[in-house]
């Protein structure tokens, strides 16, 4: 299955729109601080190109796998050098919140020496292409 680049752009746009809609300023902390921070970082217009780059790399990597699985060990080196590290985790969290990345229950050892995470466990995710259908109306609604 190949996802056209335009669809990836629409997906990233829908993700940003959802982040804006679910994380208005002034919402009291309800125990989901990390989710709120992720939403705010990915919703920031200045971060849009970086979020799109991250989403594109993750989705392309998962679609290349026969089981649609992905892990940061495989796609970390494919990210452009201009992507800010804090946006990577935020974007993955937003993809998880949107149901597009689903934890498989498995972990692998990290190979990330730049972030000093070598040997730490990191999740293996599966890409849920069906979740894209759930976001199509939002993408169309935000485009009009």
Looking at residue 24, what is its pLDDT? 47
pTM > 0.85: yes or no: no
Q: Which residues contact 138 (CB under 8 A, 6 or more apart)?
A: 14, 17, 18
Looking at residue 23, what is its pLDDT? 46
Average pLDDT of every residue of the chain: 75
Beta strands in 39-120 (DSSP E): 69-70, 101-109
What is the phi/psi pair of residue 73, to 5°?
Answer: -60, -35
**Spatial distance between the Cα atoms of 14 and 138, rounded to a whole number of angstroms:** 6
Task: Please write the tens of the pLDDT for every residue from 2-11.
Answer: 556 566 666 6
Per-residue pLDDT band at 91 (split at 50, 70, 90): confident
Tell me what the mean pLDDT of segment 36-42 comes to: 57
**Spatial distance between the Cα atoms of 7 and 24, rounded to a whole number of angstroms:** 26
Residue 26 has pLDDT above 50, yes or no: no
Task: Please write the tens of the pLDDT for every residue from 126-139.
Answer: 998 777 665 554 44
Tell me what the mean pLDDT of segment 77-82 comes to: 92
Angle between helices 5-22 and 85-97 (to 10 degrees): 80
Task: Please write the tens of the pLDDT for every residue from 101-129.
Answer: 999 999 999 998 887 888 899 999 999 87
Looking at residue 5, what is its pLDDT? 57
């Amino acid at each position: 299955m190949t996802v056209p680049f335009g669809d990836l752009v629409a997906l990233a746009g829908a993700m940003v729109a959802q982040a804006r809609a679910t994380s208005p300023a002034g919402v009291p902390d309800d125990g989901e601080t990390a989710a709120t921070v992720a939403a705010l970082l990915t919703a920031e217009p200045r971060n849009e190109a970086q979020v799109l780059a991250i989403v594109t790399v993750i989705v392309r990597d998962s679609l290349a796998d026969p089981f649609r699985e992905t892990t940061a060990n495989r796609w970390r080196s494919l990210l452009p050098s201009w992507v800010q590290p804090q946006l990577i985790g935020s974007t993955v969290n937003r993809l998880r919140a949107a149901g597009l990345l689903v934890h498989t229950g498995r972990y692998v050892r990290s190979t990330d020496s730049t972030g000093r995470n070598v040997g730490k466990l990191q999740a293996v995710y599966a890409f849920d292409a069906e979740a894209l259908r759930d976001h199509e109306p939002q993408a169309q609604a935000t485009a009009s």
